[in-house]
Amino acid sequence: MAFRSLPGSVFLRVSCTLAHAEQAPCLERTIAVSITGGDGVSVTSMDSLTLQGSNAVTIKSIKPADRLPRVVLLIDTSRSMDSFEPTAAVLAERFVSRLPSETEIGLAFFDSNYHPMASLGNDRAKLTFALEALKNRQYNSQGPKAPWSAVGEAANMFGTPSIGDTIYVISDGVYNRTRTQMRDVLEALTGSGIRLFAAVLVGPIQIRRTPSELNGPVDIKDAADTTGGALLFDPEAPRGYDSALEMVGKNGRPTRFAEDLNRQVGQLINYNRLEITLLEPIHKSQSWKLHIAGDGQSPTGKLQLIYPTLLMPCR
């Protein structure tokens, strides 16, 4: 009876307080953000940066991540990759060699099914063994590919994901387009803080014929952009690929491939934890934009933000 005798205004205040307490954790978010200069090289100092968010998002703080991201290497071994498999294995080896030795790395292959090869850890011997088998064409591909279900399976390797964890896909980008599944997977990744980085191996555009061959690489680029990742090669301006993927050219200088790979790995490793606050809860995925208002020293046009472009509702 005492509860019923409370004035209506008091009951309203109590209800609002309880609702705010329930919603507050959902309004506070932390996302991974990488910042690069005009040359694509990661910028590690953000002390003078001022960031602004759209869609009723308030920026609280940004600071360098205090941990290395875990990485799941996911390699396409479907039939369309037959001619690319040695190249994919070499690229994977080059990628792994650029990561700090203490980075936890997992490995999986995919075709019509998902094939886990090595769980997350620091044991590079398992990775080397599997990649050597792929390089020597000792791994038999099976049927058409199912890339987005494989990406979803790869995410499970993290157990409980942490902000900045990354799936790195190596593929030719050719697949039966399943945009609904792609969207669902990207929303799941973004909601978990997992980023998608990728390397798409493509031949000259003149020999690509099907819509999947033409649009698949662009779809992967869009997927990487959505989750706050980056693509190694630009599918909209393909220049082919060097099957040797040499890191040092005949002139003794780093090759263009080496420079591109080093930039991408830098973006993957040198990320920051951005804390934001939503002014109100959201009930479905929403696009948003993050801007650099100014750094006080250099033109902001030379800086680029790499961040997940979707905000997800709480689960």
pLDDT in tens, the chain (315 residues): 333 333 333 323 333 333 343 445 689 999 999 988 866 677 766 666 788 888 789 999 989 999 999 999 999 998 888 878 889 999 999 999 999 999 999 999 998 889 999 999 998 999 999 999 999 888 777 666 788 899 999 999 999 999 999 999 999 887 654 555 888 999 999 999 999 999 988 765 445 555 555 667 888 899 999 999 999 876 555 454 555 688 888 899 988 889 999 999 999 999 999 999 998 888 899 999 998 876 445 555 578 899 999 999 887
Residue 132 has a pLDDT of 93
Residue 52 has a pLDDT of 83
H or E segment to which residue 115 belongs: strand 114-121
Question: CATH homologous superfamily of domain 71-269?
Answer: von Willebrand factor, type A domain (3.40.50.410)
Residue 235 has a pLDDT of 56
Residue 112 has a pLDDT of 86
User: Residue 234, SS3?
Assistant: coil
Q: How many CB atoms lie within 10 A of CB 77?
A: 24
Residue 3 has a pLDDT of 33
Q: How many CB atoms lie within 10 A of CB 142?
A: 14
Rounded CA-CA distance 60/29 in Å is: 10
What is the residue extent of each domain of the chain? 26-65+272-311, 71-269
C-alpha angle 200/201/204, rounded to 5°?
Answer: 120
DSSP tag of 83: G
| Closest C-alpha among 6, 176, 161, 157 to residue 78 | 176
| Model pTM score | 0.85
| Closest C-alpha among 308, 305, 151 to residue 226 | 308
| Closest C-alpha among 34, 89, 44, 94 to residue 259 | 94
Tokens of 230: 């980056």
Rounding to the nearest 10 degrees, give the CA dihedral for residues 92, 95, 101, 107. -30
Residue 261 has a pLDDT of 93
Q: Yes or no: say if 92 and 170 are a contact pair by the CB < 8 Å rule.
A: yes
* Residues 174, 175, 179, 182, CA torsion sign: negative
Residue 118's beta-bridge partner residues?
107
User: Residue 302, SS3?
Assistant: helix
Residue 13 has a pLDDT of 36
Residue 242 has a pLDDT of 53
Tokens of 276: 């934001």
| Closest C-alpha among 235, 214, 216 to residue 148 | 216
Residue 1 has a pLDDT of 39
Residue 19 has a pLDDT of 37
Backbone angles phi, psi at 130, to 5 degrees: -65, -40
